[in-house]
Amino acid sequence: MGVCVGVEEGGSARERKSKMERANGRPARREREVSLEELRERLANFAKEREWDQFHSPRNLLLALVGEVGELSEIFQWRGEVARGLPNWSASDKEHLGEELSDVLLYLVRLADVCGLDLGSAALTKLVKNGHKYPVTSQSQQQLSLRSRPAGDDLPV
Ligand SMILES: Nc1ccn([C@H]2C[C@H](O)[C@@H](COP(=O)(O)OP(=O)(O)OP(=O)(O)O)O2)c(=O)n1
């Protein structure tokens, strides 16, 4: 399964894309696919080269993961509600966020690996299960279309 990393690029097509993506609250980036398998393999090599396999037990990795979730939470602590796309955040705050999100992802991938689980397959299976548990209804469709209305475009009361 693929996740995306951003690589900046130039040109006017990029500017158009950037505007569009900012409107959707997503960063202006070109995406390249990075598979969970690539991350799994690189993490396994990283640990092996440093002789860290002895420390990377499931329990230790879980505790490290929870620690990183704590560091991630600290970034949002006391800020109040945060707008999608983080429009008022500094570049360095965003960079910090990217690092903490990555630490969480990396420990999660590593934890699944040492537990012998295929995380991508497990996640896809869970998505299907979620779909059965929370089926799309006409009401949820309605809520979605209301949410996508531009600000100020209120419904008549
Ligand atoms: N035994 C270890 C130690 C680190 N890492 C990797 C996974 C994480 O991506 C990152 C975590 O490194 P740190 O523990 O140094 O944590 P931070 O990068 O968050 O540093 P700090 O806590 O100083 O902010 O390094 C690892 O795989 N196994």
Q: Quick check: is 19 in a domain?
A: no
ipTM for the complex? Answer: 0.95
pLDDT tens digits, residue range 89-103?
999 999 999 999 999
Q: How far apart are the CA of 154 and the centre of ligand 1, in A?
A: 47
**Closest approach atom of ligand 1 to CA 71:** 19
pLDDT tens digits, residue range 38-49?
999 999 999 999
Domain count of the chain? 1
What is the structure's pLDDT at 93? 97
Report the distance separating Cα 43 and Cα 93, nearest Å: 25
pTM for this model (two decimals): 0.78
Domain of 110? 39-117
Q: Quick check: is 77 in a domain?
A: yes
Q: How far apart are the CA of 7 and the centre of ligand 1, in A?
A: 24
Q: Quick check: is 47 in a domain?
A: yes
Q: Quick check: is 58 in a domain?
A: yes
Residue 1 has pLDDT above 80, yes or no: no
The CA–CA distances, whole Å, from 75 to 28, 103, 105 equal: 22, 14, 16
Q: Quick check: is 12 in a domain?
A: no
Determine the residue type at 54.
Q
The CATH number of residue 95's host domain is 1.10.287.1080
Strands (E), the chain: 2-7, 30-35
